[in-house]
Amino acid sequence: MLNPAIRSKVDQLWDKFWSGGIANPLTAVEQISYLLFMRRLDAMDRKRQEDAEYLKRPYQSMYKGKEKLRWGHFKHLPAEEMLSHVRDKVFPFIKSLGGSEQNFARYMADAVFIIPKASLLVEAVGVIDEIYTEIEREITDNGQTFHDTQGDLYEHLLSEISSAGKNGQFRTPRHIIQMICALVGPKLGDEVCDPACGTGGFLLGAFQHILTEHTSPKLRHKDENGLDRGLVGDKLTDKRQWAVLRDRTFYGFDFDTTMVRIALMNLILHGIDNPNLDYMDTLSKRFAEKERFDVVLANPPFKGSIDKGDINEDLSLKTTKTELLFVNRIMNLLRIGGRAGVIVPDGVLFGSSNAHKALRELLLDQCELQAVVKMPSGVFKPYAGVSTAVLIFVKGGKTEQVWFYDMQADGLSLDDKRQKVAENDIPDVVARWGRRDCKKDTDRKAKAFFVPAEEIRENKYDLSLNRYKEIAYEAVKYDPPKVIIKRLRGLEDEIRKDLDELERMVG
């Protein structure tokens, strides 16, 4: 989580954009993202130059012959000159990165730099420099990694989008993404997809999970959720491995072009040089991908609906509810043996409509539904208090046993403030998942337990945890009635004495 100083500066940035005439939060995020991208691009290029010099390797700067386009140069320019320089020279430069064939350049083609006032740009550049100075101090003082702190910065920035929640879109907290990645376990060589990628959080989480798996134990650390973290990837010694990871591993789709642009910048800033992201409604008839991916990770829109005439014919469910259609889409995207981790609203688990039941039948009878992790209802606050669960499944085969976990806490308070608290089930979820045993984990009073698929089928494919969990009731011991009456008599005498004293005082 961001320290108060950085959060305060991000809030300052919002205030400056609001008072500077950019009141639409999504527009403000996009414009701020461009500036963060410019600042980080300069720093990344300098770091790569330094690393190449240290390792005595060749490196050609992306700014070769264009030094005046660097953040470090234009931030010193006078206000009006800075505005025209950034708008007319720096912005066109970042739009064309990678050449016209790259996704980034393609989706940036119609992007517009619309910061209207020189004074706003100067103030924003100053605050962003202060933010990164604070990030560097945080890394030095508290041992944070840059990726983690920048990820938190981006999350806090995106949390301010008041239009979040429209069409059921909610940003997935990073620690929940990490947990799901730990359960699904994407590997080097897998093709990983998010069919409703938003800002790219799941793809970034999968990238960092794979990096951790290829980082030596001595270079890893336990994060605040008790999970291994190591982003060095020192075991990836072959350039071809890095090429596969950066260019042919991560694929995402979203129906909002602004989100696609933000996701592209987010992934590039975190080291995925050429993300394969596309503007596409994956439920529509125009979408053609199927049986393509090894891993699908998603938090698709809840409570949305799609025009019946535009639903892709490949989707077998007879419904317009997006939370059902997206799970159907994810099944179709997976190769046989492919794994998925998807967040769904609780209604998917027990809804009584024909479509709800048909989806659960698909999960149990045409997939191996491995786990249902019931999450606490505050996970998506302050956006919504919707109650959700994580489904982990493998395409193909048939379900024999389903592992249920009753998650009560995620390390943050379950109110709108979402402040850090001691209670956190995430390390336990991951640890128990790693040692799960369907023959031993049968105690339904425990946090985690298995349920035979046949029992679920007999219960009309109901996947709600409360259907199967047993509550352990403890007998409460009460004092005998005579003892309670005696105690009440004593209280009565004390009250009478107090009333007599008050009466004497006012008499």
Total H helices, total E strands in the chain: 19, 13
Sign of CA dihedral 329, 254, 247, 298: negative
Q: For residues 16 and 12, what is the distance between their CA atoms, to the nearest angstrom? A: 6
Q: For residues 172 and 156, what is the distance between their CA atoms, to the nearest angstrom? A: 12
Long-range contacts of 472-477 (CB under 8 A, 24+ apart): 472/445
40: amino acid identity, one letter:
R
Q: Looking at residue 414, what DSSP letter applies?
A: S
Q: Are 244 and 189 in contact (CB under 8 A)?
A: yes
How many other CB atoms are there within 10 angstroms of residue 443's CB atom? 12
pTM (predicted TM-score):
0.83
The pLDDT value recorded for residue 30 is 85
How many folded domains does the chain comprise? 2
b/e sequence 10-26, b meaning 16+ C-beta within 10 Å = bebbbebbeebebeebb
Q: Establish if 52 belongs to a structural domain.
A: yes
The C-alpha angle with vertex 384 and arms to 381 and 386, in degrees rounded to 5, equals 105
Q: Which residue has the tokens 């352990």?
A: 472
Residue 151's closest CA among 141, 163, 138? 138
Question: What is the domain extent for residue 124?
Answer: 1-162
Last residue of a domain, one of 162, 187, 213: 162
Q: Are 115 and 83 in contact (CB under 8 A)?
A: yes
The pLDDT value recorded for residue 165 is 45
The pLDDT value recorded for residue 77 is 96
Q: Establish if 110 belongs to a structural domain.
A: yes
Residues in the chain: 507
**461: which 2 tokens?**
């494919």
Per-block mean pLDDT, blocks of 10 residues, the chain (507 long): 78 87 82 88 86 81 92 95 96 82 78 92 94 79 60 67 48 88 96 93 94 91 84 85 90 89 83 86 92 95 78 91 94 97 95 95 96 92 81 95 95 84 93 94 94 96 95 75 87 87 81
How many other CB atoms are there within 10 angstroms of residue 168's CB atom? 19
Question: How far, rounded to the nearest angstrom, does the alpha carbon of residue 94 sit from its chain's CA centroid?
Answer: 26
Q: Establish if 356 belongs to a structural domain.
A: no
CATH of the domain at 57: 1.20.1260
Q: Establish if 135 belongs to a structural domain.
A: yes
Q: For residues 189 and 358, what is the distance between their CA atoms, to the nearest angstrom? A: 33
Q: What are phi and psi of 448, to 5 degrees?
A: -130, 140
**463: which 2 tokens?**
């996947």
Share of the chain residues as helix, strand and coil, in percent rounded to the nearest 5: 50, 15, 40
DSSP string over 44-62: HHHHHHHHHHHTT-----T
Q: Establish if 22 belongs to a structural domain.
A: yes
Q: Establish if 482 belongs to a structural domain.
A: yes
Q: Looking at residue 470, what DSSP letter applies?
A: P
Spell out where 375-440 has E strands: 388-395, 401-406, 410-412, 420-424
The secondary structure element, H or E, covering residue 450 is strand 448-452
Q: Establish if 350 belongs to a structural domain.
A: no
Kindly give the pairing relationship between strand 388-395 and strand 334-345: antiparallel
The C-alpha angle with vertex 151 and arms to 296 and 1, in degrees rounded to 5, equals 115
The pLDDT value recorded for residue 162 is 44
192: amino acid identity, one letter:
V
Q: Which residues contact 148 (CB under 8 A, 6 or more apart)?
A: 223, 229
As beta bridge partners, residue 345 has: 388
Q: For residues 446 and 431, what is the distance between their CA atoms, to the nearest angstrom? A: 15
Last residue of a domain, one of 130, 162, 194: 162
Q: Are 262 and 199 in contact (CB under 8 A)?
A: yes
Count of alpha carbons within 13 Å of 354, Cβ hemisphere only?
A: 5
Q: Establish if 263 belongs to a structural domain.
A: no
Last residue of a domain, one of 114, 144, 162: 162
**372: which 2 tokens?**
């249902």
The pLDDT value recorded for residue 146 is 56
Q: Maximum distance among all alpha carbons in the chain?
A: 98
